[in-house]
Structure 1
């Protein structure tokens, strides 16, 4: 009897909790959210039908009945990562406290394609607020949306205080091999770049349904950081540069479109073949069907054994976007000069010491010979040795020249650490950002920033992600989402970036932002860019 009463009481409490919650109507369904202080949240809403493994997802069927949107959905399967042991407590705390560098807590499921909305509580359907869609980072291997709940909530509250209220949207998408498996077999089915296509599908959901939440589907800005920023950059190239009216601007933090290779070559096929071999599917007549039929724990164990962002290979990733003939028709370095990208306003910025966190994965590199072997075999295997001679002098072993930059002999965790970090940062972040802006500024309005705010961080300086952690550009983002201009009306004017005068909105170590020129390490970055252009990926 007592047990029955407890169950009945729990059911009554659940019903009361739902019926007193804020609601929206999607198709013929009522969606129940939560209200907290000045915010209303609708969380974990499925935006796609449960996707078949290694297959493109489809937009969810019309909603019916009720949708309980009071908590975040399942995690998309994460890849196990192993943070490096540095012996420096400050660095360990940063890695453990940064969502894009650690496996997210929670329950994983391959049915994970959900979307979340955080809006001002006073929003009405007639309000039509601008919308920012957040794409999380994590090297395409890890990440989720729940870990950024505090960030999204803080941003919406700040937008209210600035009298530029907006709606924050975040979305899950498939990661690692689950979302970026390559190979001839995947190519033949047209199922490449599933993680990017999940993002695109989420944008189509926003276009269809955000008005019901008081958003304006014509005022959507994509916002990403790290691999999430690279993803937002790649979205402007998809579909021949036709953004389908899904977004009107892009705000990119620590990530620009990288050169990408064909899905059937290089790591694309290597990753596929390795996964087939490690799961025992090699003897199958149809290896892709075999991979699809594996119990999830078996597949996950094999994926977890592949290289991750803290492996020796660092950001020379195994699972990543590629030219697949469906989502990406060609290498970004080819499409960009041709103007085959969405003509939307762009903000793209970086931290001064982008490479240091990823240089931690190669602390065992301590000699000149090891450095040269690392660069030539892991990062630039397609480049003839004769063309790398200049690199060794442009990135010298002298610690004072490395990253963290402008810190002298300090922060030399090993004799080669600052050298490796400088190379990684310029290769993956600073060089691609500069190339993007130099080309895009010829056709659309762009702005760029550089932050040195965390320069005094032991070992890693103004590290990758420090701009997001410190919220240095939050107000600029809010103004950009609202007005398509990152200027806040306070302090120095942030001018557009033009190739003849590439001006940066620079956050110094201390003090207010100032304007500097984007000419730092010109010889090094020009060399790396020209090397990449001279040896494009074979398509």
Structure 2
């Protein structure tokens, strides 16, 4: 945990530095108005630019509506409000472990990096984006554009967490400057309302948050040239829920990435850091979530429950949303709010879309951390017996799976801590008799199995690279934990992966190839299924053969193991 806290402290220090007072006042004019930005350390930023009408009133839960307003001359030196957040500060940890785990959570949520997305800084009127570029870039520069989608389990997150100054600085130092865009999108009940009632109401989108992202990409197509970016050279990338979002942008409308306004592709390449097209079902698979939300909102007896939810004041809707479990509860990554197969944006089960090749044929990079599950299972520490694990899987994860399928899954992932995560640590870090087993299950169910399946399809149809990161693997109890790649992507990690990842991603935005001079060759995934393994020192190529039997079993039951 010391390693984790040190890394977070470094991140906080950098963000505080990046927030220094602007030293000049650059401006950019678009059809929406003139944006007065800031210039710090050789990087210009333009923040809080609206790309949609406020999603309030009758637009709550609805697909976003593009804004046509001319805003005149606007101070664009501050981030817009974050979208509504699910409260992570509740006491969610079980029994004996409550005090320790809650103390860790309280420490993390008190850090300045997270204060920017606290509920006091959130609002429904939140659909804004930010543009970072090297200072002095001309509108005719036609630089590659990198569009970041933040993670947060579709529950929390905001662009104010992600200062792109360091990334843009490195691109300039490499002689390959990029324009960097971040956007807010709706999450939790506001962006991913499930239930049969939501699915049957044409005014509701079960994937409103994904449509927010799509509209931001449309904004890029129409406006980024004014900032010196090339709308024909857009790379989308993200981490965790952001990576899953990128995956669903690839499969959207069965692989259609053509802009509805320009007729050109919305992007030409994608990077998914800890996320792939996860197997999610229709809105009715989330009926329990909808029913709990409606009950907490006092709308259970309403004849039109959607209208009742829409009529609630923001504070009451937010409080009702917080009646649902967060990612640190016993449910872990079996989340209450997820993208859903809606017959439109996600036209079929994601696994069927990938099986049938209905995804955008652009170059992709898709990788995971080695120990994805460790930091995501704190709420499951009271599950200490085989029987409890089976009940947990059957109740919280896969109620449509048979007992035989659950038993088969447990046989593939035994309670032997030597086979659990953090991997390759023997008997160490076994907090409970089942904790390392649960860590391994969660990591493979949500991350490794969907990734391996996806890249095995895409290697046949487009350039595909995959990786496994073992960075920070010495972190006690956590290993190479979920989310630590953010430290490298945004330049907060002083160790080797930060420079390598940033350099590779920038090269990829330019050349559609993540190889870069001075680093080991990274082969395409191909039939020999080779991964690049990031470490704290030197990366190397390794085969993608770990836990073949278990991961193959998971994907073999994927239609029953659908969330």
Q: Same fold (TM over 0.5)?
A: yes
Larger Cα Rg: Structure 1 or Structure 2? 1
State the shift of 1:106 in Å.
5.2
State the shift of 1:367 in Å.
1.6
> Who is 1:444 aligned against?
462
In 2: Cα distance, 1:403 partner to 1:103 partner: 30
2:288 is equivalent to residue 261 of structure 1: no
Change (3 A) 1:33 1:110: same
2:339 is equivalent to residue 321 of structure 1: yes
2:266 is equivalent to residue 252 of structure 1: no
In 2: Cα distance, 1:474 partner to 1:86 partner: 38
SS in 1 for 2:325: coil
In 2: Cα distance, 1:19 partner to 1:134 partner: 26
> Who is 1:41 aligned against?
45
2:443 is equivalent to residue 431 of structure 1: no
> Who is 2:33 aligned against?
29
After TM superposition, the score normalised by the length of structure 2 is 0.87
In 2: Cα distance, 1:101 partner to 1:307 partner: 21
Corresponding residue to 1:486 among 514, 533, 550:
514
CA RMSD of aligned residues (A): 2.2
> Who is 1:223 aligned against?
237
Q: For residues 231-282 of structure 1, give each alpha carbon's deviation from its aligned partner in whole angstroms, at most 9, with x where no partner exists.
A: 000001112211111111101101111011011x221x22222222221112
SS in 2 for 1:266: helix
User: Are the counterparts in 2 of residues 91 and 458 from structure 1 also a CA contact under 8 Å?
Assistant: no
SS in 1 for 2:220: helix
State the shift of 1:389 in Å.
2.7
Structure-to-structure mapping, 1:64-463, within 5 angstroms:
64-81=71-88, 82=90, 84=93, 85=98, 87=100, 104=118, 107-149=121-163, 152-190=164-202, 191-244=205-258, 245-263=265-283, 265-267=284-286, 269-463=287-481
In 1: Cα distance, 2:110 partner to 2:435 partner: 21
SS in 2 for 1:119: strand
> Who is 1:13 aligned against?
none
> Who is 2:9 aligned against?
none
User: Are the counterparts in 2 of residues 43 and 73 from structure 1 also a CA contact under 8 Å?
Assistant: yes
Structure 1 stretch displaced more, 87-96 or 305-314: 87-96
Change (3 A) 1:488 1:515: same
In 1: Cα distance, 2:548 partner to 2:114 partner: 29
User: Are the counterparts in 2 of residues 27 and 62 from structure 1 also a CA contact under 8 Å?
Assistant: no
State the shift of 1:470 in Å.
3.3
SS in 1 for 2:100: coil
Change (3 A) 1:456 1:105: farther
User: Are the counterparts in 2 of residues 75 and 109 from structure 1 also a CA contact under 8 Å?
Assistant: yes
Aligned residue pair count: 515
> Who is 2:556 aligned against?
530
Q: For residues 305-327 of structure 1, give each alpha carbon's deviation from its aligned partner in whole angstroms, at most 9, with x where no partner exists.
A: 11110111111111110011221
Change (3 A) 1:56 1:293: same
State the shift of 1:92 in Å.
7.3
